[in-house]
Amino acid sequence: MRIICISDLHQRFVVDKEEQKKLDMFYSFLDALIADPPNKLIIAGDLFDVWFEYTMVIPKAFFETLHKLKSLIEKGTQIIYIAGNHDFVFKDFFQLNLQAEVYRNDYIFTCDGKKFYVSHGDEFTSNDLQYHVLKSILRSPFVHKIFSWVHPDAGLRTGKLMSRSSQNYHKSRKTLTKQEKGLIDFSNKLFDKGFSYTVMGHIHNPHVLPLDKGTYINLGDWIRYYSYLEIIDGKVELKYWK
């Protein structure tokens, strides 16, 4: 059993030189997975800088990414997508058009007798009240209804502004440390319930942290670190794509 976990690509609508470099790295990674398909690819949120799914359209800038994910699924890989804080609305595109599985909050699985809990992690951060208030607004059905009434170009541009506001709360290293304490506290509660590993993203800080009863892992991102987790028959390793 081979499982790959990633998070936080934050693919944008406009592809400038910096964005293209990031995408080239990510596509080379996906091409390698297509050539040697894992059993599962788990995306722990924020693959896109904004994902708001309209009934009839998807952003054309995301076509190549979605096409490569479809190619990976056709090779036999099961794709799991867990919603992040930049994933505003999922309807049925991933499920019907890609045959991927979408989870709103978390995904739990067992590998080699070890129990894994995977989540984007944003709802567990501590000392982060301003962000949690913003998230409750962005996830509200009323806001989603307003978005669905406007033209997709205008709606997605507005979503982009909201996503920038969300990221402003996660810049300083000191703030990241405070936020991560909530992730670790939540992980310890899960370890008391028999979990061996917690795997999260959101804070863009790749590392593996062994605790008393289990191991907390942050996946980092595909903006600065190009980091990912590989699980082979229960053996866990945080890697960096080059």
Contacts made by residues 33-38, CB under 8 angstroms, sequence distance 24+ = 33/4, 33/72, 33/77, 34/68, 34/71, 34/72, 34/75, 37/72, 37/75, 37/76, 37/77, 38/2, 38/3, 38/4, 38/77
Q: Residue 199 — φ and ψ, nearest 5°?
A: -130, 120
> Whole-angstrom Cα distance, residue 60 to residue 63?
5
- 108 or 13, which is more confident? 108
Q: For 117-131, 141-155, 163-177, which range has the lowest pLDDT when averaged over its residues?
A: 163-177
Q: Are strands 106-111 and 114-119 parallel, antiparallel or unpaired?
A: antiparallel
Q: Looking at the predicted structure, is the pLDDT value of residue 149 above 70?
A: no
Condensed to tens digits (0 to 9), the pLDDT of residues 4-59 reads 999 999 999 888 999 999 999 999 999 999 999 999 999 999 999 988 887 888 88
pLDDT band at residue 156, thresholds of 50, 70 and 90? low
Arithmetic mean of pLDDT, 219-229: 97
| pLDDT computed for residue 56 by the predictor | 81
- 144 or 165, which is more confident? 144
Q: Looking at the predicted structure, is the pLDDT value of residue 144 above 90?
A: no
Cβ pair 11, 52 in contact under 8 A:
no
Domains detected in the chain: 2-240 (3.60.21.10)
| pLDDT computed for residue 71 by the predictor | 98
| pLDDT computed for residue 126 by the predictor | 72
Handedness of CA 173, 179, 180, 181 (dihedral sign): positive
Arithmetic mean of pLDDT, 130-150: 62
Mean pLDDT score of the chain, rounded to an integer? 86
Condensed to tens digits (0 to 9), the pLDDT of residues 178-197 reads 778 999 999 999 999 999 99
pLDDT band at residue 173, thresholds of 50, 70 and 90? very low
| pLDDT computed for residue 166 by the predictor | 45
- 143 or 117, which is more confident? 117
- 149 or 132, which is more confident? 149
DSSP bridge pairs for 238: 229
